[in-house]
Amino acid sequence: MKSSQRFSPWIQADLSRWDALSAGRQPEKIRKDTSLYYQRQEPQYLYIVRSGRFRVTCYLASGKERQLYIAEVGCLIGEQEAVSGMPYQTFPQAIINSEVYRIPRLEFLAAMENDPLLTQNVMRMMCQKYDVLFSQLIGYSTTQAKAQICRVIVNLTDQYGIQKPQGIQIGIRVTHSDIAAITGISRVTVANTFSQLSQENILTRQDGRFLVRDLPRLLAYAGEEN
């Protein structure tokens, strides 16, 4: 795993990690905009993303919604609460039509007791999420908005980049609102930053998707080494 991917809010993993949980189960279809569960609900299941993509958010005491990460294929959802037994702290919603494996909490806990490798993989997933949230927390307090936005673009380039003659195309559709939700930066600031990057010919659009034309300069703005 690239170091930048380790801190990327788009979290994915090899589905084979969870064979001990998913074997013999039929995946459930989850339509776009459908929620798996609600914040503060008692945990009865955890979920494995088989296909699709989920936005995982939480509601703060102020009532403001905060996006934490995007659950991609192979990502677990709700594993922390399944282990702790505490109410769900997040609110996962399908961004596109998706499929998940729904694992009853007690079956999950029993499987972990009997399978050390499964337990290690669950801990790795939880640590990866901790790294993502911690890096976001540090970034919010110490990094300028432009650098935060550029880091998200770098993460997307690492995970979904497709080499084109003109540069690296990000293979999924991403909006200014998506970046704003991930970073906590206003949509106006995100739009202005993208406009600046476009004027400098660092980032443009091609076939409806963003194209990184100058990765070294983008990395410099993100504060990362090339």
pLDDT tens across 95-114, in order?
999 999 999 999 999 999 99
- pLDDT band at residue 138 under the 50/70/90 scheme: low
Lowest mean pLDDT of 26-35, 170-179, 193-202, name the range: 170-179
**Per DSSP, which regions of the chain are E strands?**
10-11, 28-30, 45-51, 54-59, 65-71, 76-77, 91-94, 98-104, 161-164, 167-170, 203-206, 209-212
Helix axes of 176-183 and 145-160: crossing angle, nearest 10 degrees: 110
Place of tokens 């949509």: 187
Q: Is the pLDDT of residue 198 over 80?
A: yes
Type and span of the H or E element at 80 = helix 79-84
For the chain, give the number of residues.
226
Of all residues in the chain, the percent with pLDDT exceeding 70 is 92
The closest of 128, 129, 172 to 153, measured between CA atoms, is 172
- Could you tell me whether strands 54-59 and 91-94 are parallel, antiparallel, or unpaired per DSSP bridges? antiparallel
Residue 88, by phi and psi: left (phi above 0), alpha (psi -120 to 50) or beta?
beta
- pLDDT band at residue 223 under the 50/70/90 scheme: confident
Tokens of 11: 């979290």
- pLDDT band at residue 226 under the 50/70/90 scheme: very low
Q: What is the pLDDT of residue 3?
A: 46
Q: What is the pLDDT of residue 108?
A: 97
Q: Is the pLDDT of residue 126 over 60?
A: yes
pLDDT tens across 56-67, in order?
998 877 777 788
- pLDDT band at residue 77 under the 50/70/90 scheme: very high
Nearest 5 degrees, angle CA 32-CA 19-CA 13?
55
What average pLDDT is seen over the chain? 88
Q: What domains appear along the chain, each with residue ranges and CATH number?
A: 3-140 (2.60.120.10), 144-222 (1.10.10.10)
Q: What is the pLDDT of residue 179?
A: 86
Average pLDDT over residues 6-21: 88
Higher pLDDT: 152 or 137? It is: 152
Higher pLDDT: 42 or 179? It is: 42
Which residues sit opposite 35 in a β-bridge? Answer: 93
Lowest mean pLDDT of 65-69, 137-141, 222-226, name the range: 137-141
Average pLDDT over residues 198-216: 90
Average pLDDT over residues 148-170: 88
* SS3 state at 199: helix
Q: What is the pLDDT of residue 133?
A: 82
Lowest mean pLDDT of 83-87, 133-137, 217-221, name the range: 133-137
Contact between 224 and 148 (Cβ < 8 Å): no
Tokens of 62: 């102020």
